[in-house]
Structure 1
Amino acid sequence: MASSSSLFIIKPFLCFIVLFLASCPSYVLGISELKDIVIDSPLLTKNIPTNRTIKVDDEGNGEFTSIQAAIDSIPEGNSQWVIIHVRKGVYREKVTIPKSKPYIFLRGNGRGRTAMVWSESSVDNIESATFKVEAHNVVVFGISIKNEAPTGVAYTSQNQSVAVFVGADKVAFYHCAFYSTHNTLFDYKGRHYYDECYIQGSIDFIFGRGRSLFHKCEIFVIDDKRTAIKGSITAQSRESESEKSGFVFVKGKIYGIGAVYLGRAKGSHSRAIFARVYLSATIVPEGWARWSHAGSTENLYHGEYKNFGPGANTTKRASWAKQLTDQEVEPFMSVEYIDGQDWLPAWL
């Protein structure tokens, strides 16, 4: 089989067509309201080398009515790309792509049309997840993923309600949406790419130790009334200087209800960077929090670069927050940060 780099060499300026997506009210699922929107992924389909497609349709017009059943049909040790086309509808199920089944392109009909929904809270973040990706080389396009468990009580078994758990390398999400009230996206480990995705939550709702690039993502903050502590968008848990992990947000926008930090230190070398992002007034002036991290702040890498909007004023930022120079931010601004030029099917 050809190497992953030879399969995915594509010029960075190429992009796939998304009709009317920018005008969609993506803060809700809105399946019925958005049913007439046409969304496709021709470049992904073109650049993922396969002719094999499995169709999932909840009305019975495909090989399967369940997403998990379609995944289960793929043989263990799969080494060839397979497209699972999930047609419009709300699929109420927990879904896992296991470690033994890489090379899956899970393609929806658009994040306002295809939805994966479950409701579960747990003391175990992974167990609560609506969608778990445990296999390398997975691409997901145009799907809304939601954990609709009601807001629970902080520090109890009703507190963890993950929408998506990503625990593998070389995983990409294009034009997807992630919904929960707490711990929405568990970006656990590996290299990941999120392109024009919508992410909604309140406290620590993007967390883990992945090496991940969020390109032009829309982040919506929900005010959490369970605790007096302000929430945080990120809780990145890098633990050493040599560890390459970190969350990088390039372009996109952050807005919502209430007040949150850009991030808090969940590890001694926590790394999160926001560059050229619109920050609404929902970002508190301090910007960053130590929260439960009692150690020194000298190894934290909480950085900002040329953000704009009412929440981008840095005059009252936490003392350890870094205002990055052109030279300092350059290694984080493109897909080279995640070696994406070698494995991504498309990028900007």
Structure 2
Amino acid sequence: MHDVPMARPTLLLPCILAAASAVLSSPLFCDAHGKTSGKSADIVNGPLLTTKLNAKRTLIVGPNDEFKTIQSAIDAVPVGNYEWIIVHLRSGIYTEKVVIPETKPFIFVRGNGKGRTSVSYESASPHNAESATFAVHADNVVVFGLSFRNAARAGLPNNPEIRTVAAMVSGDKVAFYHCAFYSPHHTLYDHTGRHYYESCYIQGNIDFIFGGAQSIFQTTEIFVKPDRRTPILGSITAQDRKVEQDSGGFVFLKGKVYGVGEVYLGRANEAYSRVVFVNTYLSKTINPAGWTNYGYSGSTEHVTLGEFNCTGPGADASQRVPWSRQLTQADAAKFLTVDFIDGKDWLPAFY
């Protein structure tokens, strides 16, 4: 079941695609000195992305189309698929849970903008994966112009049912462009794999970007909502890197953090947790300590929770916890380009 209040007839599809392409920006990548440079003015601008992916087939989802739900279109993709297939969503709100299984790679899910095309479902569970509104388990998936919302209420603090994930990403080589993620708790489960998020919006309050993935968040807005159920301050991130050999970590490049109330940039969650904010605007929403080890009893000797060249009132490092890091140019260098996620091998910008 889904509600699609703004569905468009099939003959308008080219117009929709053209309109979407007009408002999209090209990706920006930092150079070795932390400055941004455009890869190309036409990397991710509507039909051109389709050309780069060389998609052979398009499945259209809408009230008057062959596929009435997103999941039915995903189900129609052959097991073991090896060529890019577009799943294009008409504008509207799709009330359903969506799972892209491990056996169905090379899917490009495309909406008409995060303000016009939304996947929403009310689901709370003790388990992150079970609560997710949208889950990607396949490798080689691109998602564009969609919002994802878990509409469940947060419930009581420390209640095991409060897991309300908007999106879970456990496939490798997965990219989200111009997407939004909403949930009252544990918004984005960035579970495992190499991921890229560009020009996205992520909203939440407690550990709302969490998991063990190896990810770059480029020009992403993070909005903090207060959790009025508890006096304990939440954290934006909780990264699960357990050993030094693990390549995982969250890197935030040229984004913006703002909102209501107060929050930490992240918390030490494992012995080698790694989160870095680079060239990011930090509002007064950030607690002066910056980082916390709440709920973690292990050593912070090997965690990498740090900042480089950030601005704004929340970037004042004078009261940061002693085990956090203000990175030098040399320290930050390995986080400044898509090489951190081997992006030149798989991102559409480099096709």
Q: What TM-score results when the alignment is normalised by the length of structure 1?
A: 0.88
Amino acid at match of 1:146: R
**Aligned 8 A contact 1:43 1:346 in 2:** no
State, as a whole percentage, how many aligned pairs show the same letter.
52
Write out per-residue CA displacement over residues 279-329 of structure 1, whole angstroms, 9 at most, x where no aligned residue: 000000000001111111111100100100010000000101111111111
Q: Matched residue of 2:330: which SS?
A: helix
**Aligned 8 A contact 2:242 2:273 in 1:** yes
Whole-angstrom CA distance in 2 between matches of 1:118 and 1:317: 38
Whole-angstrom CA distance in 2 between matches of 1:187 and 1:230: 21
Write out per-residue CA displacement over residues 234-288 of structure 1, whole angstroms, 9 at most, x where no aligned residue: 0001001111100000001000011000000111110000000000000000000
Whole-angstrom CA distance in 1 between matches of 2:161 and 2:239: 22
1:194 alignment counterpart: 197
Matched ranges for 1:196-345 at <5 A: 196-345=199-348
2:179 counterpart (172, 176, 179):
176
Whole-angstrom CA distance in 2 between matches of 1:128 and 1:20: 31
Gaps of at least 5 residues in structure 1 are: 1-15, 22-38
Structure (1/2) with the larger helix percentage: 2
Gaps of at least 5 residues in structure 2 are: 1-19, 26-43
**Aligned 8 A contact 1:40 1:110 in 2:** no
1:132 alignment counterpart: 135
* 1:17 positional shift: 4.4
Equivalences, count: 314
Write out per-residue CA displacement over residues 121-154 of structure 1, whole angstroms, 9 at most, x where no aligned residue: 1101110000000000000000000001112112
Q: Matched residue of 1:152: which SS?
A: coil
2:71 counterpart (65, 68, 71):
68
1:51 is aligned to 2:56: yes
* 1:228 positional shift: 1.4
Whole-angstrom CA distance in 2 between matches of 1:75 and 1:42: 23
Whole-angstrom CA distance in 1 between matches of 2:82 and 2:24: 35
**Aligned 8 A contact 1:268 1:293 in 2:** no
Q: Matched residue of 1:126: which SS?
A: helix
**Aligned 8 A contact 1:40 1:109 in 2:** no
1:10 alignment counterpart: none
1:11 alignment counterpart: none
**Aligned 8 A contact 2:134 2:148 in 1:** yes
Structure 1 residues 20 and 42: alpha-carbon distance in aligned structure 2, compared to 1, 3 A threshold: closer
Q: What TM-score results when the alignment is normalised by the length of structure 2?
A: 0.87
Amino acid at match of 2:331: E
Q: Matched residue of 1:273: which SS?
A: strand
Whole-angstrom CA distance in 1 between matches of 2:257 and 2:136: 26
**Aligned 8 A contact 2:24 2:45 in 1:** no
2:47 alignment counterpart: 42
